[in-house]
Chain A
Amino acid sequence: MRSLWMAGIVATMGATSMAAQDIKLPLKSGSVRFLVLGDAGTGDREQFDVANQMLRYGRRFPFTFAIMLGDNIYGSERPQDFERKFMQPYRALLDADVEFNAALGNHDDPNQRYFKPFNLGGNRYRTFKKGNVRFFVIDSNYLDPAQMKWLEQELSQSGSDWKIAYFHHPLYTTARRGPEVELRAMLEPLFVKHGVDVVFTGHEHIYERLTPQKGIYHFTVGGAAKLRKGDTRADPSIAARYDRDRSFLLAEIAGDTLYFQAVTRTGAVVDKGSLVRREARTAPAAANGSAAAPAKSP
């Protein structure tokens, strides 16, 4: 049955009517290029559809790594679940040596930190650097004093041009569950103090890009497999939103600018733009973005 399903995916890849891969990113020499996905680990058809779209875009925008925003595996976490909900959907990307860097979500067993393809290195939280960008991977499910102390230390020591934090729970969102205000109270002061430029989160199964909050850009990218249709709403804090289908984000950092493009399960571009890192900003409104297909409320 599984082999027939896989054969079906291959067969439909050419036949399915999907939008041509419309790259809105500059593909500058030496840029840091990555994929952003959240709440992916269902193993269902939609996850495979999104994964196939990531592969198609990856052939024209060759990203070298991915950041996973948690809920990497839903339900049981037996070996066969890791195979069905991660290895199989992303096989082609893994074979292309795309490095997956996972954060833990509330559906994730913390023992996922030992699963080598997630690159947590046995830790619940970690930091890593790509070019002039330092990423801080936070475990927002269990923000204990030890992690907070680690985070403050790492943020203060980082000399990287860009500081990007990612974790599972959004500090700002219009989704019905609302933002995680307790996490915001703990994390935002540190982020502001130490010049974090961008925060990526998942948990809400939608796409949102916010206007800068205390100078920090926030993206919710939680629709790599799950979807809550109609869960976003218009708000002055929202620069772009999409909740009609699954989605993921492509990002490219070149110098002081981060370029981004949100793509749906069918390959449509629903948001694109650029933003300038905090220290390099000279004007108050520094994000230039346009939602290619503004979300409509039901």
Chain B
Amino acid sequence: MLRPLDFYRRTTVAIASAALVVGTACKNEDTKPPAVDPTETVFTDFANRVDKYMQLRKSIVDTVGDLDPTKSQAEITVRSTTLANGLIAARAQAKPGDIFTPEFSALIATLIKEEYKRRSISVQETRGDQQDELPDFKPTVNQMYPTTYPLATFPATLLPLLPSLPEQLEYRVVQHYLVLRDVEANVILDFIPNAVPM
């Protein structure tokens, strides 16, 4: 029987944050314990970086316009491409770590690995199978996700443990990478290598 997901998230984040606190304390033994929970600081920082991206995104959308349902697939394709090009140009200097900072990446990678350990072998195998049809590519920031390949189904019991995202963004697993993707633009915004056990 599954415990409430919130229990797993709190437990896993506690483990990860304990590691962060111990690591921080060991750096300088004379330093007093931090007054602020470092995990909360990292997640708040992540939320702020996502907000910053969303503000930039909105400025591009204000230029290219919103997309309403249409009979024209050409219109959908043009809009998606125009949005992607605008975002890529606006973030021409973007690099790994701009949104998934090293601190955030470490926490999330720990969280994911702990979550995988809790799952049965069959679930882990199913998750591995979901990667079968994916291309063997190394994601880069500002890359368009290859359009001829599927997106792997995101592990349903893992997703609620990750920080929430605006509906325009999503997490995806690509082999051992956790990827942050703009859905409409199909652009990879950032990624965490070796986040997902394979």
Cβ–Cβ contact B170 & A182, under 8 A: no
Please indicate which of the listed interface residues A75, A144, A148, A181 has the most CB atoms of chain B within 10 Å of its own CB. A144
List B contacts of A77 (CB < 8 A): 73, 77, 147
- In the complex, whether B76 has a CB less than 8 A from a CB of chain A is yes
Contact count band on B: 35 or more
Indicate the member of A83, A121, A122 with the most B CB atoms within 10 Å.
Answer: A122
Residue numbers in A under 8 Å from B165 (CB-CB): 144
Instruction: Give chain A residues whose Cβ lies under 8 Å from the Cβ of B123.
Output: 181-182
Q: Which residue of B lies closest to A113 (CB)?
A: B69
Q: Which of A167-188 contact B (CB under 8 A)?
A: 169, 177-178, 180-183, 185-186
| Contact between A116 and B74, CB atoms less than 8 A apart | no
Which of B126, B130, B150 has the largest number of chain A CB atoms within 10 A? B150
B159 engages A143 (CB within 8 Å) = yes
User: A178 contacts which of B126, B154, B156 (Cβ < 8 Å)?
Assistant: B126
Q: Known contacts A76-B147, A76-B148, A177-B129: does B73 contact A106 (CB below 8 Å)?
A: no
Total A-B residue pairs with C-beta atoms closer than 8 Å?
A: 98
Chain A residues with CB below 8 A from B69, complex form: 113-116, 120-122
The number of chain A residues with a CB under 8 A from chain B is 39
Q: Is the interface of B mostly helix, strand, loop or mixed?
A: loop
Tell me how far the C-beta of A44 lies from the nearest C-beta in chain B, rounded to whole angstroms: 16
Query: B74: which of A79, A120, A178 is its contact (CB, 8 Å)?
Result: A79
User: Residue among B67, B76, B133, B167 with the most chain A CB within 10 A?
Assistant: B76
Say whether B164 faces chain A, with CB atoms less than 8 Å apart.
Answer: yes
Give the residues in chain B near A143, CB-CB below 8 Å: 154, 156, 159
Interface residues of B (CB under 8 A from A): 2, 67-74, 76-77, 80, 122-123, 126, 129-130, 133, 147-148, 150-157, 159-160, 164-165, 167, 170, 183-184, 186
Selected A-B contacts with CB under 8 Å, 20 pairs: A76-B147, A77-B147, A78-B73, A106-B133, A111-B184, A114-B70, A115-B71, A115-B76, A116-B71, A120-B69, A122-B67, A122-B69, A142-B153, A144-B160, A145-B160, A145-B164, A146-B167, A148-B160, A182-B155, A186-B157
